Amino acid sequence: MSEHLYQRIDLHTHSTASDGKLTPSELVLLAKEKGVTMLALTDHDTLAGLDEARQVAEREGVQLINGCELSVAWNKIPLHMVALGFDQGDPALLRWTHRNQVVRLDRGRQIADLLVKKGLPDLFNKAIEEAGESQLGRPHFAKVMVREGMVKDMNKAFDQFLSNKKIGQIRDVWPQLEEILPELKSSGCELILAHPKRYPITVTKLKAVMADFKRHGGTAIEVASGNERPDHVRFLERLSREFEFKASVGSDFHGAFGPWTNVGHYTQIHEQEIAPVWYSWQQ
């Protein structure tokens, strides 16, 4: 039996409010079609898609959990944190998402300048145009580069120009865990370290991240994210027990492109081994 299965719970997905392909409405409809009964929309640094998603979710009988994937940092290493189950008017969350939105624009300008230094034309305005209403991110630069024939595909754009390594110091713009976590902690939402195995760090460092994440108010880690290797999922289940974190799961769906799996699709977890964040939301 395949270890990658369609599941009823998906707590990590993207829409056009950030770098996903589908509108919030289309995402909810696809989730329903795939059998997802509890869905979190977790766009990068924005809550802008939640109202639309909620409207469709209510109509379609899908339980929508408010979500957001925040860009954060630990010792200058960029990390992603998923916040789930907050109140949409939460002042701390609104403040931090707004701050990161400002950072995104400023960082976009810096990325464009860096690309100019590497011999490309100034792509800032085109990336802004590509993003439209969405939160500006590196994928918008990548899309422009593909369209203009500068690279073959998005993957190449990241490999050659946009990876953390390639953008160097520009990656160091996000709030540190110790400044953002204590403020969000008081909101009482779940604060989840996203896709822990995707960071290019050693296990020792990952454990140091988790210890700090816990200390400053983090409540959970994602034990399964999209196409993750089953042995990595077992490893993350073990770490969730070791650090007494709850566990979250999700596809990290962005659309049918790149490395992404479909909505509701991720590696099988061993539910009896973990403390799921979704238990308290189950109706």
* Of the residues 7, 15, 19, 278, which one makes contact with Mn ion according to CB under 5 A: 19
Rounded to the nearest whole angstrom, what is the least distance from the CB of residue 28 to ligand AMP in the complex? 20
**By CB under 6 A, is residue 196 in contact with ligand AMP?**
no
Q: Beta strands 4-6 and 9-10: pairing type?
A: unpaired
Q: How far is the CB of 146 from ligand AMP (least distance, A)?
A: 10
Instruction: Indicate the residue among 166 and 270 with the shorter CB distance to Mn ion.
Output: 166
Q: Give the footprint of ligand AMP on residues 93-132 (CB under 6 A).
A: none
Residue 158 in the binding site for ligand AMP (CB under 6 A): yes
**C-alpha dihedral, 135 to 100 to 126 to 254, nearest 10°:** -40
Answer for which of 32, 34, 138, 197 binds ligand AMP (CB under 6 A) is 138
| Residue 118: CB minimum distance to ligand AMP, A | 17
Does 254 help bind ligand AMP (rule: CB under 6 A)? yes
Task: Provide the mask over 66-85, with x wherever binding to Mn ion is found by CB under 5 A and - wherever it is not.
Answer: ---x----------x-----
Q: How far is C-alpha 7 from the geometric centre of its chain's CA atoms?
A: 19
Strand pairing class (246-250; 265-267)? unpaired
Query: Would you state the torsion angle of the CA atoms of residues 242, 188, 17, 31, taken in this order, to the nearest 10 degrees?
Result: 70
Q: What is the DSSP letter of 86?
A: -
- Contact status: 222 vs Mn ion (CB under 5 A): no
Residues near 173 by beta carbon (within 8 Å), at least 6 away in sequence: 73, 103, 106, 107
> Of 245 and 260, which has the nearer Cβ to ligand AMP?
260
> Is 175 within 8 Å of 99 (Cβ atoms)?
yes
Residues 6+ apart with CB under 8 A from 15: 22, 23, 24, 26, 27, 41, 43, 49, 53
Say if residues 220 and 247 touch (Cβ distance below 8 Å). Answer: yes
| Ranges within 225-254 binding Mn ion (CB under 5 A) | 252
**How far is it, in rounded angstroms, from Cα 110 to Cα 167?**
9
**What's the closest the beta carbon of residue 41 comes to ligand AMP, in angstroms?**
14
How far apart, in whole angstroms, are the C-alpha atoms of residue 228 and residue 14? 18
Q: Which of 40, 154, 184, 193 binds ligand AMP (CB under 6 A)?
A: 154
| 137 near ligand AMP (CB under 6 A) | yes
The partner in contact with residue 158, picked from ligand AMP, Mn ion, none with C-beta cut-offs of 5 to 8 angstroms by kind, is: ligand AMP
> Which parts of this chain interact with ligand AMP (CB under 6 A)?
19, 44, 137-139, 154-155, 158, 254, 258
